[in-house]
Amino acid sequence: MTEPEPLPPLSRGPLREQIRRVLLDGLVAGRWQPGERIVERRVAAELDVSQAPVREALRELEALRLVESAPNKGARVRDFDVRDLRESYQVRAVLEGLAADLAVPVFAGDVRVLEEHTRRLHQAAAAGDVTAQIRHAVAFHRAIVAASDNRLLLAVWESLGVEVWTTLSLRVYRAELHENAEDHEPIVAAFRRQDPRTGEIVRDHVLSYGLPPAPAPDQA
Amino acid sequence: MTEPEPLPPLSRGPLREQIRRVLLDGLVAGRWQPGERIVERRVAAELDVSQAPVREALRELEALRLVESAPNKGARVRDFDVRDLRESYQVRAVLEGLAADLAVPVFAGDVRVLEEHTRRLHQAAAAGDVTAQIRHAVAFHRAIVAASDNRLLLAVWESLGVEVWTTLSLRVYRAELHENAEDHEPIVAAFRRQDPRTGEIVRDHVLSYGLPPAPAPDQA
DNA sequence: ATTTGAGTAATGATCGATCATTGCGTAAGT
DNA sequence: ACTTACGCAATGATCGATCATTACTCAAAT
């Protein structure tokens, strides 16, 4: 088995997953506006599939809180607001704070993985690739959660849909991109020296994302 | 509209919800054992419904991590272990800790709701009704999370399925029932005096649930 | 003009049937 | 005996059609 890529699988995975991706892309691209309905049959016809897998895909989007639905009412795109972002960062902060505390002994000072993510984040920033910046910043945070060795914690964190929400927050109301590489250095350093306050540091780092655009620091 | 109860609705709500309840009850009652498969068609035939709503109900159980499934493999009852409980309490601890901090100014010292839950918990304990104990203890914790006024936090907490998991943990391996009423008094008191350490107190309280049976306290 | 209610189109919820994958038993081949 | 390939039953995934609820139109009644 030395073949690197057998062939680009024309249709990989269950249908519902492909549909979910299409819907996700559509939401991120703004094809459906907030408040707009997503009609199961219309999507099904458009993708030339039946209603069933579309339903299932919509359920997954509902779990990500990207759409909301009531019985016999169907799904509609959620109308995001700043409150959603604040709530998200509050929850992320405590989750990732816990993850960091749990991850410190797991990393055991070996932070090469985190350094690699930071490096790519730097590269993306230098190239001005916002999408890649988000992707690598999220990967950085995810690596911490994954290292916590708490499966539930990882599952809950994934259910927040951090990458999609971050992307959307940039699109919907042109929020600032907080994820700059420098901010992650202190975190890497904390893990490197196995600082008992690493959780606290990570928590405050995430929490700072949800804060107003950063007050002018030129006043003592 | 003064009629108190028009009629006990013979079949309320969407089918999938009724089915979900049946499956939940079955799991809690031990009708399906850990590791056992739950076959969509068999359940459908047994309840005289079609496969579709059963599928949807199973998806919800999967979200509660009560069953696990892989594509084309179907669902099977998860094989819970102590690790699951430990993970659950760790996550609950930070979530409810955050909720408590957010809820302090919301309660503003008015803890009548929490007192009521505590009172009922006492009653249930006195009556030896374990199920009611769990129900009221969970309601107590849920009240704190609900008071946090963070919708995402509440949604994430609900997704943990605390009540079902607590009940199951008693059934599967006869875990101890930690939820005794006295333990909740310090929490109520902290909210009453709006203690800035309330979050910390709640966090430690929840975390203590996941600890071993409590070491003998007779040694200084 | 406003309200009420029948009628209807749109669409979610559910159904019964079919397609496709998996698991497993069985037998030929070594 | 062990391995491999074939065939079949079980079952998840998907489909096309039907049922049931909702949202809406519009006209008659007030």
Tens digits of residue pLDDT in A106-135: 999 999 999 999 999 999 999 999 999 999
User: Which of B68, B69, B91 would best serve as a mutation to test chain A binding (most A beta carbons within 10 A)?
Assistant: B91
Share of chain B above pLDDT 90, in %: 81
Q: Which stretch of A211-215, B103-107, B185-189 has the lowest confidence by average pLDDT?
A: A211-215
- Please indicate if any CB of chain B lies within 8 Å of the CB of A200: no
Q: What is the dihedral of CA A47, A51, A54, A60, to 10 degrees?
A: 180
Report the length, in residues, of chain A. 220
Segment (H or E) for B70: strand B67-70
Return d(Cα B93, Cα A197) in angstroms, integer: 18
Q: Is A175 left (phi over 0), alpha (psi -120 to 50) or beta?
A: beta
pLDDT-derived band of residue B56, with 50, 70 and 90 as boundaries? very high
| pLDDT of amino acid A210 | 78
Per-residue pLDDT tens for A77-104? 999 999 999 999 999 999 999 999 999 9
**Rounded alpha-carbon distances, angstroms, from residue A51 to A45, A47, A70:** 8, 10, 17
At A17-76, the pLDDT tens digits run 999 999 999 999 999 999 999 999 999 999 999 999 999 999 999 999 999 999 999 999
Joined together, the tokens standing for residue A206 give: 């995430």
User: CA quadruple B93, B95, B99, B101: dihedral positive or negative?
Assistant: positive
Interface contact B115, partner A, CB < 8 A: no
Q: Determine the average pLDDT of the residues in B39-59.
A: 98
> What was the pLDDT predicted at B216?
57
Residue B4 has pLDDT above 50, yes or no: no
Task: Please tell me the distance from the alpha carbon of residue B220 to that of residue A64, in angstroms, as a whole number.
Answer: 49
In angstroms, rounded to a whole number, what is the distance separating the alpha carbons of residues B203 and B128? 27
pLDDT at B212: 65
- CATH 1.20.120.530 residue ranges of chain B are 82-209
CB-based contact (8 Å) between A84 and chain B? yes
Sign of the Cα torsion B89, B91, B93, B95 reads negative
User: CA quadruple A86, A91, A97, A99: dihedral positive or negative?
Assistant: negative
Domain with CATH 1.10.10.10 in chain B: 15-77
Residues 6+ apart with CB under 8 A from B172: B34, B80
Residue A91, CB, strand D, below 7 Å: no
Give the Cα separation of B106 and A111 in Å (integer). 41
CA of B29 to C1' of D11 (A): 25
Strands A37-38 and A74-77, sheet pairing? antiparallel
How far from chain centre, in Å, is Cα B200?
A: 21
Select the residue of A90, A102, A156 nearest B150 (Cβ to Cβ): A90
Chain C: positions less than 7 Å from a protein CB are 10-17, 21-23
Question: Which amino acid is located at B145 in the chain?
Answer: V
- Is residue A154 less than 8 Å (CB to CB) from chain B? no
- Tokens representing residue B37 in the block: 């498969």
DSSP chain A: ---S-S---TT-S-HHHHHHHHHHHHHHTTSS-TT-EE-HHHHHHHHT--HHHHHHHHHHHHHTTSEEEETTTEEEE----HHHHHHHHHHHHHHHHHHHHHHHHHHTT--HHHHHHHHHHHHHHHHT-HHHHHHHHHHHHHHHHHHTT-HHHHHHHHTT-HHHHHHHHHHHS-------GGGGHHHHHHHHTT-TTHHHHHHHHHHHHTSSS---TT--
Is residue A47 packed enough to be buried (19+ CB in 10 Å), middle (13-18) or exposed (0-12)?
middle
**What is the nearest CA distance from A115 to chain B, expressed in angstroms?**
27
Rounded to an integer, the average pLDDT of B24-40 is: 95
Cα(A160)–Cα(A99) distance, integer angstroms: 15
Instruction: Considering the domain delimited by B82-209, tell me its CATH architecture.
Output: Up-down Bundle (1.20)
Q: For residue B58, give the nucleotide whose C1' atom is nearest its CA.
A: D12
User: pLDDT digit string (tens) for A142-189?
Assistant: 999 999 999 999 999 999 999 999 999 988 776 677 778 889 999 999
How confident is the model at residue A102, as a pLDDT?
98
Shortest Cα–Cα distance, B218 to chain A (Å): 30
The fold adopted by the segment(s) A15-77 is Arc Repressor Mutant, subunit A (1.10.10)
Closest CA relative to residue B144, chosen from B106, B175, B193: B106
What is the distance between the alpha carbons of residues A82 and A187, in angstroms, rounded to a whole number?
26
**pLDDT at B9 (0 to 100):** 47
How many angstroms separate the CA atoms of B166 and A172, rounded?
Answer: 40
Looking at the predicted structure, is the pLDDT value of residue A219 above 80? no
Residues A27, A31, A34, A35: what is their CA dihedral angle, to the nearest 10 degrees? -120
